[in-house]
Amino acid sequence: MLHQNPRRSRKLRLNRTATLEKLEDRLPFAVDALSESVALLLDSEPFAPTVEARAIPKTKAAAKNKPPAIAKAPNVSKAITTSKTKLSVLGKDDGGESKLTYNWQVLSAPRNGSVSFSANNTNAAKNTVLTFGKAGQYRVNLTVTDKGGLKKTVSYRLRVVATLSSIELTPSESTAEIGSSVKFKAQGLDQFGNPIRSRITWKVPTGKISSSGVWTGSTKAGKFVIQASSGKISSRINFSVTNKPPAPDPATTSGVNGLVQTYFADGSISRPDMINILRSTGADGSVNTAELNDLKNLVNNAAKYKMPDYVKVLASDVVFGNRANTVTLKAGSSAAQLNSLIDKWFYGTDRPTLTSSSLSYRVSSGTLFNGNPSYMDEHQGALGDCYFVSTLGIIASKTPDAIRNMFIDNLDGTYTVRFFTGVYGAFMNSDNSISDGFKSGVGTADYVTVDKQFASTSSGKFAYSNAGASISSTATSLWLALAEKAYAQWNATGKSGRSTVANSYASIEGGWMSVVSAQVLGYNASNFSLSSFDKQKLIDLLNAGNAITIGTKATGQTSTLVGAHAYSVIGYDANTDQFQLHNPWGTQHPGGMSYSQLQAECTYFVVADATKFQVSSVSRLVSQVRSEQDAAAAVVIVSTPQTWDTNRMNLHFEELSNSVDTITIQETDLVAQDTMDFDNEHIGDAFQAESPEQLLDSIDSLFAELAENDMLFSA
């Protein structure tokens, strides 16, 4: 609102009589005066407030998150000469290094090679220990991630060089008489237990030894130590020199006395010696009563003649008979019958019946072991023995020597394989798990011999274990296929505890892992119900280094797990709180699974301490006696023999006479027949590869090489 000036208003009223012309003349001056009044009013209170001079504040721009970077890279320039190496890396980030996550991944590895990381996917993983499975070239990726999700990925090449780490001496112990000679073999082994070329020097306290390891002549008896060295690596064995032993009692070995004395001159009756003695009794076309009695006396006195345990067992199967024999050796048996028994037990010529007429036996060019045995060798084929394959695979990974100790290489294309047998049964452990295998908890060694002929498809690929691999490939590791074949042959003896006794592959379809563990290791494994034990129990057992398998339910699956199937449990990731499972097919691995998923989809997990196994060699069998604490806590046992079929294994528990508690488990969904339809051999043929696995390895190697040379482009 404008304020009027009263004095100027009166002055205007006095001139109201003026003429129009005068008003018009004075109008501009009035307008000017009015303008001045308005200006004066606007310059006075309250129209002219005081205004302070203030600067307009500037808005600070938000800091932009930058991706992390590598401040200190690991030293990967030197070749790695051990099975482990430590990598240390340090990242930097605007949010602070402590907020970074370091994730390691394997980009490429040599065939059958593996890498594990002691720490991963955490900030602490900036310092991690890598454990390798074999020598060769490896590439690993490191991804550093900040709190905002920005990442920095780098790749490192690692070269693991096979380095002499030990020397294996055979025989591990030896005895020779004065004046005789013994052949020793020294084999250099790298850090992974694989053979490596090395120059050996020998040192002996008595007699002489050649550069090839032939020891000759000692003038005195006693116990000595022989040493083999290569550089700073050396190995020693105990060696005994004895006086010439007395000749065997003629009354004991009258019919074959001459041969026994000849072969026993070196202090023992070996496998070739026993084969020659057995064949000699049929040289005239038949076996007479005296010869048969001599053979029986010889086998009964095996310890006296320093006969290896496996030779005694196989000779006993020939001389005293076995349920698997189609003929029984007796007085009057023909030489042909005798030789068929010798060939069966010492050369593995009585092969298991195949599951299909489209399959045939072919000789493999593979080797017993190609590096250390592990679960990576699992490639179950068209045979429902997942329980067997997964058990041996995880035992091999935890303790390779437990698997190596099963086999004796006869150096003639045959292998003698050991299983343990006994009165089958189970009892309750003090922690409420079920100890399964033998009623006593410990088995007795038994042996069977197999040759290198395996079930083959028409295209020359393995049909069962090693499925899809070429029969003719020299790179194939045969141990699992040999064990599988031996298990089928051994089943004909009636000593495997199965309901169907036959020398056939079909007869070993369907089974349970704890029984196989006991038959391989010589002592019981334990069954833990997933519904009765918590997650931490399984974690603790894994961390203790146990060999663990798990069986799925027959129905009700909600994920990619195969129903009525066995898996190896290969690890636990604390960061994701998930367990890793390995499918014995060698494909379709389920990846990480939570414990609640395992509880929903599985029944039991089976635990075996693979570091404890009964040890046998070509010269003796040493049994490790198992603790009886668990046996004392037993409240139930399994009736024997146990029975299996292709759908489930039924356990029938009976109450102990001195027990109050009774447990009965019937129709338990365990492991069923799990055959797989596959066409791997045709895939392999199409790409001119020996197997699909080799093809994938080749593709992985190709892409790794392309990536290294910046030759990969995205569309």
Q: What is the pLDDT of residues 439-469, one digit of tens each?
A: 999 999 999 999 999 999 999 999 999 999 9
Nearest to 420 by CA among 322, 518, 510: 518
Choose the CATH number for 164-242 among 3.40.1050.10, 2.60.40.10, 3.20.20.70, 3.10.580.10: 2.60.40.10
Looking at residue 183, its pLDDT comes to 84
Q: How far apart are the first and last CA of the chain?
A: 74
What does the H/E/C string look like for 483-500? HHHHHHHHHHHCCCCCCC
| Dihedral (CA of 249, 250, 256, 258) sign | positive
Q: Which CATH superfamily is domain 69-159 in?
A: Immunoglobulins (2.60.40.10)
Tokens of 223: 């116990």
Residues with Cβ within 8 Å of residue 492, at least 6 apart in sequence: 323, 324, 501, 502, 503
Query: Taking a C-beta distance cutoff of 8 angstroms, is the pair 152, 73 a contact?
Result: no
Q: For residue range 86-118, list pLDDT tens digits in order.
A: 999 999 999 999 999 999 999 999 988 889 999
Query: Taking a C-beta distance cutoff of 8 angstroms, is the pair 305, 270 a contact?
Result: no
Looking at residue 689, its pLDDT comes to 42
**How many of the other CB atoms lie within 10 Å of CB of 252?**
15
Q: For residue range 190-204, list pLDDT tens digits in order.
A: 999 889 988 999 988
Q: For residue range 366-423, list pLDDT tens digits in order.
A: 999 999 999 999 999 999 999 999 999 999 999 999 999 999 999 999 999 999 999 9
Q: Is the pTM of this model over 0.85?
A: no
Looking at residue 59, its pLDDT comes to 57
Query: Taking a C-beta distance cutoff of 8 angstroms, is the pair 99, 75 a contact?
Result: no
Q: For the domain 525-608, what is the CATH code? A: 3.90.70.10
Q: For residue range 607-645, list pLDDT tens digits in order.
A: 998 876 665 533 322 222 222 222 222 222 232 222 223
Looking at residue 628, its pLDDT comes to 24
**What is the secondary structure of 507-528 as a DSSP string?**
GG-S--HHHHHHHHHSB-EEEE
Residues of the chain under the 70 pLDDT cut: 1-63, 172-174, 217, 244-255, 556-559, 612-715
All CATH 3.90.70.10 domain ranges in the chain, comma separated: 525-608
Distance of alpha carbon 169 from alpha carbon 220, whole angstroms: 23
Tokens of 429: 């452990």
Looking at residue 11, its pLDDT comes to 41
Looking at residue 173, its pLDDT comes to 64
All CATH 2.60.40.10 domain ranges in the chain, comma separated: 69-159, 164-242
Query: Taking a C-beta distance cutoff of 8 angstroms, is the pair 360, 456 a contact?
Result: yes
Distance of alpha carbon 426 from alpha carbon 438, whole angstroms: 6
